[in-house]
Structure 1
Amino acid sequence: MNLFLMCFTAGECFLLSFLLFFHPLKENLYANRWLALFLFMMGTAFIGVYFSKTTAGINYPYVFQCINSLQFIMAPALFLSTLYFADPVKIFKKKDLSHFAPFILYVFIEALFVARGSDFMKQRLFDIGDNTILIRDLLPLQLLIYVLLSYRVLLNHQQNLQRITASFKGINLNWLRYFLLILALITFFWINDALLGFSLLLQITPLIYTGSIFFLAYFSIRQRTVFAFNQQELQEISVLLERPQQTDLQKTERLSAKELDLYAQKLHTLMTTDQLFLDNNLSLPMLADQLGCSIHDASFLINKLSDGNFYTFINQQRVEQAKKLLSSGKNSELNMLGIAFASGFNSKTAFNTAFKKYCGMSPTTYAKRYGST
């Protein structure tokens, strides 16, 4: 394994860790600090490779043991970072400490082995065919499990966004999804290095590691603030996202018949007269403010009246507006991007996706079929 590239990759990790920890724009502060911890631990793992391949591991055994133990922090730090990105007001709880149980256990046992002059990381667990599984081989498997858990958090985040916004641009954490996919690639090569030993893959492993860190840096610095709301709104949103969609009976009980009728009339006015849906930055907190009710009440109102979430309700309004513009011949004055913006969408992709979903055809097909000549 190319030791120069390993040290260079470690430097990449440390630099990116520093930039994320002291993020100049202070965006997603706690999430980025956990992500910084993950990358710092990854950097120490690459330094550990250098120690294991040179006399440094023999000359500085205690440093080497410390580096080994820190690797068990990597995967939990990644997962907690993902949780902080997905939850606007997450706080660290006692149950989160459970993710660090392998690290604590390893440190305790390693201390006993160091006292006896041996290396716990190289202790044999079991054999699979001709391969001997050591304690250190658990590390890539641990990381793989946490990458999958983090990806599941992102999928839930995508569904939750539909309850509070009609536009995912910049806040859907797609960059983190790519980040995790790259980590999955790194983990695959790590597993091959630890367990499989395919020679061709081993030869390109240092290059894969080095290039992957560049891409991790590219995606991580492109992030935006996920929930750009004030603290009170964030608290309400956090509680709302923690609760599953309510039944129709629960929706009715939350608002009295009189309140439901009053808010329904206001909502109708906001959509038909004020055309609030044309604001492409419209969110559930903004709509709740216009209605003069809480975020919870606004969510329940929409669920009750439309039998859907905020995302579905607003985008249906926008699609109806686009249909009016297309059938009136406005597409001869505005291109499809202009129609999209004039209907409240903030991108042509979002416009096409929503239009096909609710109309069963593309905007172009609809204009040809129903547009005035």
Structure 2
Amino acid sequence: MNLALMYFSTGSCFLLSFLLFFHPLKQNSKANRWLAFFVFLMGSSFLGISFREATGHLILFLNAIQFLMAPSLLLATLYFVNPTKTLTPKDGLHFLPFLFYVFIECFLFSSDGSLIRQKLFSIGYADFLVRDLLPVQLLLYIGLSYLALVRHQKNLRLITASVKEINLDWLRYFLLILALVLIFWLNDALIGMSFMLKVMPIVYAISAFFLAYFSIRQRTIFAFDKKKLQDISELFGTPQNDDSKRSTRLEKNEIAILSEQLDRLMTNEKIFLDNELSLPILAEKLKISIHDASYLINEVTGNNFYNYINSKRVEEAKRLLLSDKSEELNMLGIAFASGFNSKTTFNTAFKKWTGLSPTQYQKQNNQR
């Protein structure tokens, strides 16, 4: 094993954990502190690998805290996707494996060596040790974190029409890198392929670099005040597709009045051209709650906020593409003039609603 690379990976993780904990831009503070804790534990795990055969209180400590890696990753993810997340007694259940391990190690285990290296059972020619529970636990929690991110992407479409910068794709890449690390970890624990063992320190070092790259580039996800964050959290917790569980928030006469106001905002003021438009902003203009605004859009249009606003922007783009302004503006200019904040989002939305790219649509209609 290349100890120099393992020490490099350890130091990189410790440095990254420091930067995340004291994030210079103060973004997503609670989530980043949990993520910092996870990355610190990951560095401790690399350090433990380097001193695998050593003994002493430090090694026992490093072995024990590895059982905190998986829950800290999940809690970081939950804080990223929930604007008002707070710790609950239910969250404490995730720390039971750590407490159970410490209790056995300190009070019940009396053999020479460490509990972490004790055999549980055999798989073919390989022995499954207590330490091999760690990658299995982490794999399970990576899956739970990924599912939380999938729900997050759906929830974002309830409050914004521009999800590219805040959809936490960087965290999905983070999880994929961790899954790659787990493959090498499991090989080290159970299979022992010599080639993978040789390149394992290199993979760990590269992984540490990309984990730092993706985590430092993050942006603030929910840039709203506390009241709006509470309303958004309530909205996310309400079933959107099950009519039997969705309460009627507005009376028919209220919906009629508000739908007229909504139509005026879109038709006369064209507020959808503001690429910073969000559901909280729209709710303020309608003088109703965020939850009521979401309910109104769903009742009137049958769509969520994301689809509703972007469909309006596509209609505006279609008009501009066939107007004299198309000679003055390139495709990026058309995108911005229609309310989109990136060409990628523009192209994706345009093709979704028309079945054509903007260029194809323009050529097809100019030939008529």
TM-score normalised by length of structure 2:
0.97
The C-alpha deviation readout for 1:101-122, integer Å capped at 9, x for no partner, is 1111100111135544442111
CA distance in 1, matches of 2:96, 2:242: 39
Does structure 2 conserve the Cα–Cα contact (< 8 Å) formed by 1:251 and 1:304? no
1:10 aligned onto 2:6: no
Corresponding residue SS for 2:52: helix
Q: Which residue number in structure 1 is paired with residue 282 of structure 2?
A: 287
State the number of aligned residues: 368
The separation in 2 between residues aligned to 1:118 and 1:8, in whole angstroms, is 27
Q: What is the rounded CA distance, in whole Å, between the counterparts of 1:37 and 1:128 in structure 2?
A: 33
Counterpart of 2:34 in structure 1: which amino acid?
W
Contact persistence 1:248–1:304 (CA under 8 A): no
Query: Are residue 202 (structure 1) and residue 216 (structure 2) matched?
Result: no
- Counterparts in 2 of 1:296 and 1:154: CA distance versus 1, 3 Å: same
One-letter amino acid of the structure 1 residue matched with residue 355 of structure 2: G
Pair 1:86 & 2:81 matched:
yes
- Matched residue, 1:296: 291
State the shift of 1:253 in Å. 3.0
Please show how residues 204-283 of structure 1 align to structure 2 within 5 Å: 204-245=199-240, 253-283=248-278
CA distance in 1, matches of 2:112, 2:353: 68
Letter of the aligned partner of 2:48 in structure 1?
A: G
- Within 5 A, what are the aligned runs for 1:1-373? 1-53=1-53, 57-58=54-55, 61-112=56-107, 115-245=110-240, 253-371=248-366
**Whole-angstrom CA distance in 2 between matches of 1:144 and 1:344:** 41
Q: Deviations over 1:178-208 (max 9, x none)?
A: 1111111111111111111111111000000
* Mapped partners of 1:250, 1:9: distance in 2: 49
Query: What displacement does 1:262 show?
Result: 1.3
- 1:204-253 deviation per Cα after TM superposition (whole angstroms, max 9, x unaligned): 00000011101100110000100001110000000100111165688783
Q: Secondary structure at the match of 1:166?
A: coil
CA RMSD of aligned residues (A): 1.6
- For 1:8 and 1:302, locate their aligned partners in 2 and report how far apart those are by CA, in whole Å: 52
> CA separation in 2, counterparts of 1:52 and 1:247?
52
Distance of 1:146 and 1:236 partners within structure 2: 28
Say whether the 8 Å CA contact 2:239–2:245 is kept in structure 1: no
Kept in 2, the 8 Å contact 1:28–1:225? The answer is yes
Contact kept? 2:238, 2:246, Cα under 8 Å: no
Distance in 1 (alpha carbons) for counterparts of 2:325 and 2:193: 60
Q: Secondary structure at the match of 1:226?
A: coil
Q: State how far apart, in whole Å, the 1-side matches of 2:278 and 2:40 are.
A: 36
CA contact (8 A) 1:10 1:46 kept: yes
SS in structure 2 opposite 1:254? coil
Partner secondary structure for residue 52 of structure 1: coil
Structure 1 gaps of 5+ residues are: none
With normalisation by structure 1, the TM-score equals: 0.95
Q: Matches of 1:209 and 1:241 in 2, distance apart?
A: 36
Asked if the contact 1:322/1:343 (under 8 Å) is kept, the reply is yes
Asked if structure 2 preserves the Cα contact closer than 8 Å seen for 1:5 and 1:206, the reply is yes
Q: Deviations over 1:79-119 (max 9, x none)?
A: 10000000011001110011111111100111135544442
Q: Counterparts of 2:103 and 2:22 in 1: how far apart (Å)?
A: 32
Local SS of the residue matching 2:248: helix
